[in-house]
Amino acid sequence: GQDIMPEVHRVLNQMTQLVTRIHNGLWRGYTEKPITDVVNIGIGGSFLGPQLVSEALVPFTQRGVRCHYLANIDGSEFREVTSKLAADTTLFIVSSKSFGTLETLKNAQAARAWCLAQGCPEPELHKHFIAVSSNVKVAVEFGIAEENIFPMWDWVGGRYSLWSAIGLPIALAIGMSNFKDLLAGAYAMDQHFTSAPFEENMPVLLGLLGVWYGNFWGATSHAILPYDHHLRNFVKHLQQLDMESNGKSVRQDGSPVSLETGPVIWGGVGCNGQHAYHQLLHQGTQLIPGDFIVPVVSHNPVADHQQWLYANCLSQSQALMLGKTREEAEAELREKGLGEAEIAKLAPHKVIPGNRPSNTLVLERISPRRLGALVALYEHKVFVQSVIWGINCFDQWGVELGKELGKDVYQHIIGRAEGKADDGSTQGLIDYFRGRHRG
């Protein structure tokens, strides 16, 4: 019953103002130099989606601002990112709905300490930090000016959030006009999903195919195989989108599900996979459906590379479909001049069953509008499957247990918890860690 669009457009306007200021060199650091580097501090949906889009749209990158991503709490990642930067020309975006996500908060605190150590006066810290959060009070206490806090509403799930202010690093990387083209592509897919008849509806067809192969043919995983270097992290985003959404064993009414739900999502960029795990797809004992994603036109044509890349993509899906019979394998070996005994020995190993399912999604080229439609296509596919299985694709309670247990384990590690851990295995690993650090 609430019209959310005015607030959405207000935030888009706020994003436009920020992006314009930074791209025009009007946002200055504590030494009055313009910002040259932006570091997005976030994890999960506050990291995977923006990173995917920023990398996928590198050909549309605006000059003058470099974007970096900091997600893991591992100190090596923090050191690797900050070693390339100067504090007086760096802006940090702290992306956390609660402003309390452990990994994000720890990295934000480390970034704050790094800025101070590099010479930034504490009263000037606000020039180097902005936030995307719903917890304005805590963000202000951290040192972020209230006018530099962008809202993230409760109804925006992290893995569906790259279209919101969480997409600030995308907009800074590719410009606000291209960011709006990204939104337009997603909107076009939204309209297709809501209006196209089921037999022509791409999210519905993809969703139904996944249910068909998973629930009726026993497939437990699904391969995503993008044939484009700029889409190399698409799999990581889809892993969270699909597995965090539909990795559930309880229906919306609380009753247990009676069939398999979300599959394991995996894969990687072609042609690399052809020389690695495609063997399992072709001759393994498991049925593993796959999605091939390939553009027709490359942003960086080199000789006839794109023709070969496209040919490899099509030949892999063709080989999965057609396979190779025993007769074909034997004929192939005879043409090479092998004797019948050697043919009988080798032929079984060259047989490829075929009839392995795959989808091929072809884009003219990777652009903001087309990428927006592609990402939205998978969002709606995940939703379709959740409806069929009767589960809630918008919660993720399974993620919370590890977070809560982590707090208790941490207290044991630093010696502030009474007694021992809840199980002997964990206690043994805690003891080993503490012993090594005492040494």
Say if CB 382 and CB 246 are below 8 A apart. Answer: yes
Tokens, residue 393: 């694709």
Say if CB 411 and CB 430 are below 8 A apart. Answer: no
Match 């989108």 to its residue by tokens. 241
* Extended strands (E) in 164-288: 221-226, 264-267
Say if CB 150 and CB 11 are below 8 A apart. Answer: yes
**b vs e for 176-197, b when ≥16 Cβ sit within 10 Å of the residue's Cβ?**
bebbbbbbebbeebbebbeeee
As a whole number of angstroms, the distance between CA 182 and CA 173 comes to: 13
Which DSSP letter does residue 296 get?
S
- Catalytic hit among 275, 336, 349, 437: 275
What residues have CB less than 8 Å from 213, skipping those under 6 apart?
219, 287, 289, 357
**b vs e for 123-153, b when ≥16 Cβ sit within 10 Å of the residue's Cβ?**
ebbbbbbbbbbbbeebbbebbbeeebbbbbe
Say if CB 396 and CB 390 are below 8 A apart. Answer: no
Which DSSP letter does residue 34 get?
B
Say if CB 147 and CB 130 are below 8 A apart. Answer: no
Give the C-alpha distances (Å, rounded to integers) separating 346 from 58, 278, 320, 430.
Answer: 46, 20, 20, 52
- Catalytic hit among 55, 103, 244, 330: 244
- Catalytic hit among 33, 305, 403, 420: 403
Q: Is 137 a catalytic residue?
A: no
Closest Cα partner for 162 from 374, 362, 396? 374
Q: Is 97 a catalytic residue?
A: no
Q: Is 403 a catalytic residue?
A: yes
The residues carrying an active-site annotation are 244, 275, 403
